[in-house]
Amino acid sequence: MAEHSIKRVPVIKVTHLVNDETTDALAIEEPLEIRLEYGEADNRIIKNISVTMRTPGHDAELATGFLFTEGIIKNSKDILVADHCFIACTENKENVIQVSLREDIITNLQNTERNFYTTSSCGVCGKGSIDAIRTVSAFTQPVNDDQTITSEILHQLPDKLRQHQQVFADTGGLHASALFNLSGELLLAREDVGRHNALDKLIGAALNKNLLLNQSVLLLSGRASFELVQKAAMAGIPIIASVGAPSSLAVELAEEFDITLAGFLRDKRFNIYTAAHRIILPVYETTY
């Protein structure tokens, strides 16, 4: 993915005493149009349902995860094929992904009342309303209440993720989402210029690999927003940890769906905002 995700540009590097002409590595940002093909054999419909600004790579996973977290498909088996514009296409096919559903899949695009246009910085911005997102969240998978992780293992996750952030190491400009098992083993990691795209790629890959999302821990390289918690809720992920801060609405949604949410996971510390029973703390760490 790295070679297709980085662009080198000339820059003037300014320091205190020296100005040097050199090059800098930037994370590539390009639009991706997601098209959906559905319906019976004699009445197939092709509809453009989303345009998102993303970092090229893992586009089929992004589309799969997006359709799943929006409640349009139930699992990856609903999909016959997902490929770059595999039906007649005159435009840049690398920036168009078409997902063909099985004929027996009944598609209700009214599950979400949203304008399917998103940007890399804000996946919620294109939605019609917060109520529309909550409507989609009503289709969430049941969260497993028996999964626990120790604080010692939780502390190790950011370092393990950084070791696998290849493009971030080169550019410093990408968000990452990762899945770990409860023993702290990295299962999958995905990067993107958009935090919501990184998570869609991750969930799409997990669905394709039949990973048990309801027995996993999700780590976010930045802050935990409402939409990221909503996507995790759709996938039935019981534990979310973020390196940055959660938003107030993210905390409210995590509490509503009994998801364990930890924030500021760095430098051997973190805050637990909801469902603390899934994180096992040493006695000396408990001060309440």
45-66 burial by CB neighbour count: b if 16+ within 10 A, else e?
eeeebbbbbbbbbbbbbbbbbb
Q: Please, how many CA atoms are within 13 Å of residue 228, restricted to the half-sphere of its CB?
A: 34
Q: Is 85 a catalytic residue?
A: no
Strand, coil or helix: 263: strand
DSSP class of 213: G
Q: List helix spans (H) across the chain.
A: 2-5, 59-69, 130-137, 151-162, 166-171, 195-208, 226-235, 248-256
Q: How many helices (H) and strands (E) does the chain have?
A: 8, 14
Give the C-alpha separation, 61 to 21, whole Å: 38
Closest CA to 1 of 35, 31, 27, 33: 27
Closest CA to 208 of 193, 188, 192: 188
- CB neighbourhood size of 177 (10 A): 30
DSSP class of 101: E
Active-site position among 85, 89, 122, 125: 122
Answer yes or no: are the C-beta atoms of 151 and 285 closer than 8 Å.
yes
Give the C-alpha separation, 269 to 256, whole Å: 25
Question: Which residues are the active-site residues?
Answer: 122
